[in-house]
Amino acid sequence: MLTDAELERYSRQIMLFGRSGQERLRETTAFIAGAGGLGSVVAIYMAAAGFGCIRIADCDTVDVSNLNRQVLHRTIDVGRDKTESALQTLKDLNPTIDIQPVQERLDEHSIEGLLRDSDLIMDAMDNFETRYLLNRAALRHNIPLFHGAISGFHGQATTVLPGRSACLRCLFPRALPPSTFPALGPTCGVIGSIQVNEALKFVLGKGELLTNRLLLWDGLASSMDELACERRPACEHCRDY
Amino acid sequence: MKIKVRAFASFREMLGSELELDLPDESSVQELLDALASLNPRFCSEAFDRSGLLKDYVLLMKNRKRLDRDSMNQALEDGDEVAVFPPVSGG
C-alpha cells in the first residue's frame, strides 16, 4: 500500500498509470551503471518517479569539467566520490526510496555483486567494452538493458530484451575505440530521459519499447531518426539465448 | 543509376543528411563508399582506416537492412538507399 505521502508525491503520474503502477515502480530495483552525464539524468528521473531501489555505481570522483552536464553533482562536490555526491542529490530529491551508492569499478569481477536482485540495467557508461559486459550480464540474468550513448550534439538509444530482441552486440558488433568525447548537457538530457521513459514503460507494461530499433537524436537538426535492426543469428553474445 | 545516401551523427555534418549520387550501373557498395570519400576529405579520414578500409565499427545499411563487411562487393541497384552511421559511445 502506498502511504498518503507517496500518493501525494506521485499524484500527477498516478493519473497516468494508477496506484498499482506506482506500486510496481516501488517494487523495482534499478541498476544504473555510471554517475556521469547520462547517469545523472537517468538517476534523477528514476528517483523522482519513485523506482523503489536505485543502485548506482561509479569509480570516479567529481571533476570541475564534469559540471557542464553531470547534474547530480555541484561545485561543492568537486573532489568527492561521484556516488557520494549522487546519494546526497537523490536523497534530497526523494527520501522515500532506497538509494544504494557503490563506489566501484564495473568489471567482470564486480558485476555480479553490483547486479544482485536488479530488475533492469540502465547503461550510462562511456565506453563499449563495459557496455558489452552489461549486455552479457543482462542476457545471463534475463533482465532488460536500456542503452544510451552520446557525443556532442548526437545521441542514440535502444532497448534490449534478452532472447526477444537484438542485443547490443547484434547492433554494434565492434567496439569503438575509447576517446575523449565532446559532451553537452542537453544531449545527455534527451537521451537519459528516453532511457528512463523506456524503463517506465517496461515496468508499467505500457506503449511500445525501442526494441529492434536504434533511435538517433541529432541536436543540430533537432530531429530524430530510427534505424531498424534485428538479431544476428551468429552474435557471439546472444546466439545461445 | 542514382543511389540515395543517408548519413547520421557526425557523418551528417560532413556529408549532409541526405544526398543522391549518380554512379555507373552495377557499382558496388565499396565503389559508393569510395565516391563518398572523394567528396569529403574529413569523411574520408573519419570513416576509413589508414589502409583504406571502412573502420570496423561504422554501420552500413542498404534499404534499411544491415550490410556486413563481406557485402562490400555487392552490386547496388538504381534507387537503392544506403545509410552510413558512426555509433557514439560517450555517456
pLDDT tens across A145-196, in order? Answer: 999 999 999 999 999 999 999 999 999 999 988 888 999 999 999 999 999 9
Nearest to A82 by CA among A98, A46, A58, A100: A58
Nearest to B57 among A39, A148, A174 (CB): A174
Which residue in chain A has the smallest CA separation from B56? A174
If phi > 0 it is left, if psi is from -120 to 50 it is alpha, else beta; for residue B76 that is beta
Q: What is the 3-state secondary structure (H, E, C) of A194-233?
A: HHHHHHHHHHHCCCCCCCCEEEEEECCCCEEEEEECCCCC
Task: Flag whether the ipTM exceeds 0.85.
Answer: yes
Amino acid at site B75:
A
Q: State the pLDDT confidence band at A68, using cuts at 50, 70 and 90.
A: very high
User: Once rounded to an integer, what is the mean pLDDT over residues A13-28?
Assistant: 98
Asked whether residue B68 carries a pLDDT value surpassing 90, the answer given is: no
Nearest to A39 among B17, B83, B91 (CB): B91
Asked whether residue B66 carries a pLDDT value surpassing 90, the answer given is: no
Q: State the pLDDT confidence band at A13, using cuts at 50, 70 and 90.
A: very high
Is the CATH code 3.40.50.720 the one for domain A4-228?
yes
How many other β-carbons are positioned within 10 Å of the β-carbon of residue B6?
20
Residue A115 CB burial class (10 angstroms; 0-12, 13-18, ≥19):
buried
User: Once rounded to an integer, what is the mean pLDDT over residues A94-110?
Assistant: 97
- 3-class DSSP state of A94: coil
In sequence order, what are the residues at sequence separation of 6 or more whose Cβ sits closer than 8 angstroms to the Cβ of residue A111?
A: A133, A134, A137
User: Once rounded to an integer, what is the mean pLDDT over residues B40-67?
Assistant: 91
Average pLDDT, chain A: 97
Is residue A195 within 8 Å of A157, Cβ to Cβ?
yes
A222 touches chain B (CB under 8 A): no
DSSP class per residue in chain B: -EEEEEE-THHHHHH-SEEEEE--TT-BHHHHHHHHHHH-HHHHHHHB-TTSPBPTT-EEEETTEE--GGGTTPBP-TT-EEEEE----B-
The set of cell numbers assigned to A137 is: 550480464
pLDDT at site B63: 93
Which residue in chain A has the smallest CA separation from B90? A126
Q: What is the sign, positive or negative, of the torsion defined by CA atoms of A159, A135, A88, A66?
A: negative
A37 touches chain B (CB under 8 A): yes
pLDDT at site A177: 86
The set of cell numbers assigned to A37 is: 552525464
Domains of chain B, first to last: 2-85 (3.10.20.30)
pLDDT at site B69: 84
pLDDT at site B17: 86
pLDDT at site A187: 98
* B chain contacts of residue A128, beta-carbon cutoff 8 Å: 89
Per the DSSP assignment, residues forming a β-bridge with A31 are: A55, A121
Nearest to B8 among A34, A126, A225 (CB): A225
Instruction: Provide the residue ranges of all domains of chain A, joining segments of one domain with +.
Output: 4-228
Q: Are A175 and B57 within 8 A, CB to CB?
A: yes
Residues A192-222 have pLDDT tens digits of: 999 999 999 999 999 999 999 999 999 999 9
Q: How far is CA A209 from the centre of its chain?
A: 15
pLDDT at site A165: 97
- d(CA A140, CA B66) in angstroms, rounded, equals 26
Amino acid at site B31:
E
